[in-house]
C-alpha cells in the first residue's frame, strides 16, 4: 500500500472547520483513501473513504485532488468531542489497513 504523510498535530477552535491534510503521492489507481479516528482510550472509528470523487457523510467531507496525490478531511463544525488522532490510510480495499502515527487534532473552546 502507498505511504501517507500527515502533520503530527493540529489545533482548531470549537465551531470552526477542521481541515486535516494528507499526502499520498505514490497512490495507485485502484487504491482508496480511508480516514479513521481514535478518541482517547477507544478503538479507531471509521470516518469516510473515497477513490476519486469528493465524498460527504454525516461525519465529514473528503476532498481528493485531481491527481489523487493528496486529500483533505474536513470536519465542518468541530466540537470538543472531535479531539482525537486522525489516521489517513491508502488501501486497495482488499488488503489490511496499515496505520501510521496520524494527526493529533486538539479542538479547544
The footprint of another protein (CB under 8 A) covers 34, 41-46, 49, 85, 87, 93-94, 96-102
Shortest reach from residue 20's CB to another protein, in Å:
15
Shortest reach from residue 30's CB to another protein, in Å:
12
2 burial class (0-12, 13-18, 19+ CB within 10 angstroms)? Answer: middle
Angle (CA) 62-66-93 rounded to 5° is: 55
Pairing state between β 9-13 and 103-108: parallel
Residue number with CB closer to another protein (58 or 66):
58
Residue number with CB closer to another protein (37 or 68):
37
Residue number with CB closer to another protein (40 or 67):
40
What is the 3 state secondary structure string of 78-102? CCHHHCEEEEEEEECCCCCCCCCCC
Amino acid at each position: 500500500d502507498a505511504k501517507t504523510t500527515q502533520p503530527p498535530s493540529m489545533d482548531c477552535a470549537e465551531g470552526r472547520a477542521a481541515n486535516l491534510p494528507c499526502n499520498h503521492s505514490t497512490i495507485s489507481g485502484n487504491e482508496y483513501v480511508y480516514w479513521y479516528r481514535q478518541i482517547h482510550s477507544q478503538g479507531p472509528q471509521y470516518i469516510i473513504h473515497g477513490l476519486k470523487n469528493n465524498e460527504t457523510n454525516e461525519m465529514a467531507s473528503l476532498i481528493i485532488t485531481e491527481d489523487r496525490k493528496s486529500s483533505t478531511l474536513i470536519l465542518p463544525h468541530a466540537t470538543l468531542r472531535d479531539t482525537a488522532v486522525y489516521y489517513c490510510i491508502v488501501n486497495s480495499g482488499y488488503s489490511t489497513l496499515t496505520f501510521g502515527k496520524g494527526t493529533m487534532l486538539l479542538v479547544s473552546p
